[in-house]
């Protein structure tokens, strides 16, 4: 029996709804809520190669790890005896901030959510063995496709939109971070499904993008761009928050490396839409 490609859990999620809308014409994808997924018979689930959970329990941002609050663990229990691979969306925040971070670099979660994600990662690996794909994703840039989008936590781009809407002055420091557009992430998902990957991978552009640089792209059509004020900070502060991932392992596996110029063009296109 030839399997279908992917079940996405999280109809109102930013990443899930975007990936579904971009890939639905190319791949056999089902998107549904966590509640509806838990009702699916196992003989239906086993028809799919991958299951990706994009739903989030907001309590994981506030409380210490608890299996009862972990949607990923709940899903893993349901599928542990099914020959289907689980895609776990982890975070680059489980690493200590620095440049050129590999998958085996030092782990030092920086907040409650990333601490809980790391615990969940380890539990899922024990439960699902080789039937897991862990994606440690950096800042994703893109607009929400679902009007009923449920916002659990704010991304860099969410904060940018808030500043634009309020038209208030905001200071920023020119540290670097690592980004990826939702279009680039969707292409990576397409290739992951094609190559049928397992294991742990970093997912981002894999380059240093200075805050000053990405703001210049997003502010291309912003009439109030002068409200974004650059303030130089000491090197200690710069090093504390700057980071970039090394994605060589993923790029070799899927034979695709997203380009900085793709991200620049995507951000300028967004700028025209939002301003």
The pLDDT of residue 205 is 95
The residues spanned by each domain of the chain are 4-274
The pLDDT of residue 146 is 59
For residues 140 and 182, the answer to whether their CB atoms sit within 8 Å is yes
Count Cβ atoms within 10 A of the Cβ of residue 42 and give its class: 0-12 exposed, 13-18 middle, 19 or more buried. exposed
* Domain spanning 4-274, CATH architecture: 3-Layer(aba) Sandwich (3.40)
156: its two tokens: 């860099």
The pLDDT of residue 97 is 87
Characterise 196 by phi-psi region: left (phi > 0), alpha (psi -120 to 50), beta (else).
Answer: left
User: In angstroms, rounded to a whole number, what is the distance separating the alpha carbons of residues 104 and 74?
Assistant: 27
User: In angstroms, rounded to a whole number, what is the distance separating the alpha carbons of residues 187 and 184?
Assistant: 5
232: its two tokens: 């130089």
- In tens digits, the chain (275 residues) has pLDDT values of 578 899 999 998 999 999 999 999 999 999 999 999 999 999 999 999 999 999 988 888 888 999 999 999 999 999 999 999 999 999 999 998 889 999 999 999 988 999 999 999 999 999 999 999 999 999 999 998 656 555 667 889 999 999 999 998 998 887 899 999 999 999 999 999 999 999 999 999 999 999 999 999 999 999 999 999 998 766 555 566 789 999 999 999 999 999 999 999 999 999 999 99
195: its two tokens: 């190559």
User: In angstroms, rounded to a whole number, what is the distance separating the alpha carbons of residues 3 and 225?
Assistant: 49
Count Cβ atoms within 10 A of the Cβ of residue 152 and give its class: 0-12 exposed, 13-18 middle, 19 or more buried. middle
Residues 6 or more apart whose Cβ sits within 8 Å of residue 224: 164, 167
The pLDDT of residue 212 is 93
The pLDDT of residue 197 is 96
The pLDDT of residue 84 is 95
Alpha helix positions (H), the chain = 14-23, 34-39, 42-45, 71-79, 112-128, 156-166, 182-195, 211-218, 235-241, 248-254, 260-274
């Amino acid at each position: 029996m030839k399997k279908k490609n992917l079940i996405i859990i999280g109809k109102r999620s930013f990443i899930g709804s975007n990936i579904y809308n971009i890939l639905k014409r190319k791949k056999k994808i089902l998107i549904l809520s966590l509640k509806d997924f838990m009702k699916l018979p196992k003989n239906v689930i086993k028809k799919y190669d991958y299951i990706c959970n994009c739903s989030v329990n907001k309590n994981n941002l506030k409380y210490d790890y608890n299996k009862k609050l972990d949607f990923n663990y709940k899903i893993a229990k349901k599928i542990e005896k099914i020959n289907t691979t689980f895609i776990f969306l982890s975070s680059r925040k489980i690493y200590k901030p620095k440049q050129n971070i590999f998958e085996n670099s030092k782990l030092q979660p920086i907040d409650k959510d990333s601490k809980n994600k790391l615990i969940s990662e380890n539990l899922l690996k024990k439960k699902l063995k080789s039937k897991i794909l862990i994606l440690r994703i950096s800042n994703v840039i893109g607009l929400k496709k679902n009007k009923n989008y449920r916002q659990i936590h704010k991304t860099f781009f969410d904060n940018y939109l808030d500043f634009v809407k309020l038209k208030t002055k905001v200071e920023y420091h020119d540290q670097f971070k690592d980004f990826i557009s939702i279009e680039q992430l969707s292409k990576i998902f397409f290739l992951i499904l094609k190559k049928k990957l397992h294991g742990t991978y970093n997912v981002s552009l894999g380059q240093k993008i200075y805050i000053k640089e990405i703001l210049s792209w997003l502010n291309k059509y912003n009439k109030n761009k002068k409200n974004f004020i650059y303030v130089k900070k000491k090197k200690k502060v710069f090093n504390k928050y700057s980071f970039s991932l090394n994605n060589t392992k993923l790029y070799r596996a899927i034979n695709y490396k997203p380009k900085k110029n793709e991200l620049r063009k995507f951000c300028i296109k967004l700028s025209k839409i939002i301003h």
